Structure 1
Amino acid sequence: MALSKHPAKGAQSIVPVRCITLLTDFGEQDVFVGILRGVILSIAPEAQIVDLTHLIPPQDVRQGARALARAAPHFPPGTIHLAVVDPGVGTARRPMAARIGSQWFVGPDNGLATLLLKRAQRAALACEVVVLNRREYWLREVSHVFHGRDIFAPVAAHLACGVALTQLGTPLADPVLLPFAEPQPTAGGLRGEVTTIDRFGNVLTNIEPAHCAGGQVERVRLGQFEIGGMVRTFAEGTTGALVALWSSEEHLCLAEVNGNAARRLSASPGDAVEVFIVRPGSSEAL
């Protein structure tokens, strides 16, 4: 396998080594993740590589976008996020790279960067997006079915070596942005949705404290189940009790004490969640 003929000579002595994160739906059975790491290290041998997760559900771009948005704020400026959840690989979908605030994204233009771009827009952070079309920064031979290896990994490595974003491609004005539902007001409070089920069976939603506008959560309903009030920890209650709490990232989370809430509630991403809110000074839910 031949590597790019432009390894950004001398760049490593000029710029600090950057962290490269990896997020994919490749799983852990095959060698695909190891190959990505090998390509990166062949070009940027001092790169610091961090595996976020390789267990995104296959082809689930939306879950990939959510996971990336959860992880990115915890990394330092200059971090390069290489993400590959790419059901459209080899089709007309565009390869892209972006500077989003002080970090970078490399991956398919299929909405995987949606939440990073929207967050940056809300915070008025500078963004620059390019379509990757400078083949000298790819591997010499490009497969129709493994752009993670042949395009995205080498591009991330060249960024880590100090190659400018504008050298890697031309401006992209219309990156794909997926729609993500926002909680909507109801007569009693809010209606949101399940976004993620974690490995403990905790049910995470798109509802944040700010959506409650200063009110207190009186109860939460998902399907036929209702949970009264809020607790502070996963252990607050007797074993088997269903509880609601704010997650470490301040999203409404439904859990079963020492159990699996998703299985108990038969919950899946996209399911509706109703929150009933009491305003200060009121004894009745909205």
Structure 2
Amino acid sequence: MPRTVSVLIINPNSSASMTTALKPLLADLSHSYLSLDYYTAPPTAPPSINDEETSALSTSVTFPALLQFLTAPSDGQDPRHQAYTAYLVACYSPHPLTTLLRNHADTPVLNIFEASLLHALALARPFGIVTTGKYWESVLSDGTRRFLATGKGLDVPADNGSESGGLGFGNFIGVRSTGLNAAELHSTAREEVDRRIREASAGLVREGADIIILGCAGMSGMDEAVREGARIAGKEVRIIDGVRAGVVLLEGMVRAQIS
């Protein structure tokens, strides 16, 4: 009988609405041998991860609360304290929570930034990232180049001069922001959100992107605006949702492990 894979999808901000919005978008991935559970950070976590400061605050609040999920209880009776077979950090950034979880879990851990880049590498086509606030343009650009150049995790500094000869480095077009943070994606009028996503997507396509990555968990389900932006620029594109990519990759990793 196939092994059941259980993935805990972690929203490291306190906006429960973002967590709720992911559930119907991932429903088609669930099956008899894959269970998806969701976790929203405690109320003292920031409602949106907008910069290094909110990333650090998010980690300091969320990690202690997650420790209960990293080890199964001895009696095995309380399902709230089960150990999961994989963990997905649903923040599109080099979020420090990822490293902490890896240091304390003996099962696969990914964040959605890494998952989307691995998916893009497999497709081997020019890609760009549509993200939220302006702050993330440089952070995600640097993180992507580091990942592609070294193959290392986003928390590991790249060696000087290591960008040449990297993993598909030449396919990275760049990052365009919408100017809205993750919380504003759901509080701003949808027409305005779609307009900004269209403009950012069209810009990346004009620069040569064949693939557009949704650079925020809060953008899940907003792919039609990306398609419209690409068509404005005269092209059909593939779209990568890092949350979906992360679930699929983690299930594969668990199933590929040899006991």
Whose relative contact order is higher, 1 or 2, with alpha carbons under 8 Å and at least 6 apart?
A: 2
TM-score above 0.5, yes or no: no
In terms of fraction of residues, the more strand-rich structure is 1
Q: Looking at CA atoms only, which structure, 1 or 2, has the larger radius of gyration?
A: 1
In terms of fraction of residues, the more helix-rich structure is 2
- TM bin, normalised by shorter chain, reads 0.3 to 0.5
